[in-house]
Amino acid sequence: VGHVDWLRSKGYENSTWTFSRGLIDYSIWRKLITADDQLRQRVVHALSQIFVVSVDGVDIDYPFLSVGNFLDILDANAFGSHRTLLEQVTLSPAMGRSLSMLGSAKADGSGRRPDENYAREVMQLFSIGLLELEPDGTRVMSNGAPVPSYDENDVTGLARALTGWAYAAPYDDHRGNRQLLPLVLQPQNHETGEKRFLGVTIPAGTNGVDSLRIALDTIAAHPNVGPF
C-alpha cells in the first residue's frame, strides 16, 4: 500500500490533521520495516537522498500527503528511467513547493524575475553536478583546473523555461488534492521568449509544456548524468 493510500485509510485526510507534519513518519517506517519489496524500499531511500524534499519545506495544508505522494513517485519509478522520474519529480507539488518552482512566472518588467532555485538545484543535485566528469567519474580538466558543467547563464535560461507551473486544484480545495495532483501550466505566466541553456536554444513562442519537455530532455541526455 502506498503512502497516500495508507494515510487516507487511517482517516488523516480531514481538518483535524490539516497542518500535521509527523504523520508521514508512521508511513515511512511502516514501509521500511514491513514492505515485502525491500530492494525497492532501499532504492527509494537512496533516491530520497538525491531528490530531496522536507515536510517542513511544504508549508501549506496537508504537508504529510504532499511528501507521501512524493515518496510514492520515487517508489513507482525506483527501477525506471531517470528522464521519467525527473519529470514526475519536477511536477510534484512537494518539489514545486520545496524548491519554489511552483508559481514561478515570467519577468514582468517591474522587478519580478523567474525563480532560479529549482533550475539551479535540478542541475546541481538531481542530474549533472557542478563539474564535468569523465565516464568513470573523474573530473574533466582544462589547463589544470576542473571544468564547470554549467554557469549562471544556464541557470537563468533554464529558470525561464520552467515558468508558469501551478497547483492543479484550487485553493479552496480542502481534501489535499493540491498536494497530490501534478502541477499544471498557466500559459499566461510562462516566458515565451527565447531560452538558452546547456548548449540548447528553445525558440521564442514555444509553449510551456514543450519548453519543459525540451529542458528535461536536455538535462537527462547530458553526459554527466551517468557518472554523477
Q: Does the pLDDT at position 175 exceed 80?
A: no
Calculate what percentage of the chain has a pLDDT beyond 70: 99
Residues in the chain: 228
Residue matched to cell numbers 485526510: 13
Query: What is the rounded average pLDDT of the residues 77-88?
Result: 97
Give me the half-sphere count of Cα atoms (radius 13 Å) on the Cβ side of residue 94: 24
Residue 19's pLDDT is 85
pLDDT digits (tens, 9 = 90+) for 103-135: 999 999 888 999 999 999 999 999 999 999 999
Cell for 219? 538535462
pLDDT digits (tens, 9 = 90+) for 191-201: 999 999 999 99
Collapsed DSSP state (helix, strand, coil) of residue 38: helix
Question: What is the identity of the amino acid at 218?
Answer: T
Sequence-ordered list of residues with C-beta below 8 angstroms from that of 197, at least 6 positions apart, any chain: 150, 153, 154, 155, 156, 157, 158, 161, 215, 218
Residue matched to cell numbers 512566472: 105
Indicate the pLDDT class of residue 174, thresholds 50, 70 and 90.
Answer: low
pLDDT digits (tens, 9 = 90+) for 21-39: 889 999 999 999 999 999 9
Cβ distance 153 to 160 under 8 Å? Answer: no
Q: Report which of 127, 147, 60 is spatially closest to residue 96, judged by C-alpha positions.
A: 60
CA–CA gap between residue 125 and residue 133 (Å, rounded):
14
Residue 25's pLDDT is 95
Q: Report which of 83, 218, 58, 90 is spatially closest to residue 162, judged by C-alpha positions.
A: 90
Enter the pTM of the model: 0.94
Q: DSSP state, 74?
A: H
Residue 128's pLDDT is 98
CA–CA gap between residue 224 and residue 228 (Å, rounded):
6
Taking CA atoms, 151 is separated from 24, 49, 154, 222, in Å, by: 37, 24, 5, 15
Query: What is the rounded average pLDDT of the residues 150-177?
Result: 90
Q: From start to end of the chain, where are the E strands? A: 141-142, 145-146, 165-166, 184-185, 195-197, 200-202
Question: What is the identity of the amino acid at 6?
Answer: W
